[in-house]
Amino acid sequence: MKNVNKSFLLPLLCLISILVMSCQEDEEPHDIFPQTWKLAGWQAYGVEEDSDFQPISDSTYIYLFKSDGTFVKNVGEESTAGTYQTEVLIYEVGGERKHYNLIFPEDKLRHSCHANREYLQIDENGMLVGGSAPCDGPALFFRLQGN
């Protein structure tokens, strides 16, 4: 009887271990906070011909999203803070996309077409995309940094 219990216990423990590990792998990196996103490049859109992606490797343009719904934005020596909300939208083409809606108490360091607000989304490449492309400015692309 004791041998039967031991032989049953080992496969059960292996199954539980596999399930726990697979659940941990399902969590997307952009669902873990805090998140630090650093400018990786930009691309111009608008009335003239679209430009190619322009990579940036030494940027000091950074967003820090905290788990309490606040963010800090640094652009060089300048800094501002505010609140954000996230939502997941489902598109017919492209599937699910996570969006960040940022609210600035002061209209400082905002880079968008809207006063006191920025709208960012995670694209199909896992980059955070924002900027003023809807009003003929550049689209800005941010890469998630290891936290």
Give the per-residue pLDDT at 14.
43
* Residue segments in the chain with a per-residue pLDDT below the cut of 70: 1-30, 46-50, 94, 147
H/E stretch holding 75:
strand 70-75
Residue 25 has what pLDDT? 45
Contact (Cβ atoms closer than 8 angstroms) between residue 117 and residue 102: yes
What are the residues whose beta carbons fall under 8 Å from the beta carbon of 37, sequence distance 6 or more? 62, 63, 64, 65, 128, 142, 143, 144, 145
- Give the separation between CA 73 and CA 62, rounded to whole angstroms: 6
CA 62 to CA 7: how far, in whole Å? Answer: 54
pLDDT in tens, 5-40: 555 444 444 444 444 444 444 556 668 999 999 999
Q: Are 116 and 107 in contact (CB under 8 A)?
A: yes
Closest to 111 measured CA to CA, from 58, 146, 59, 50: 59
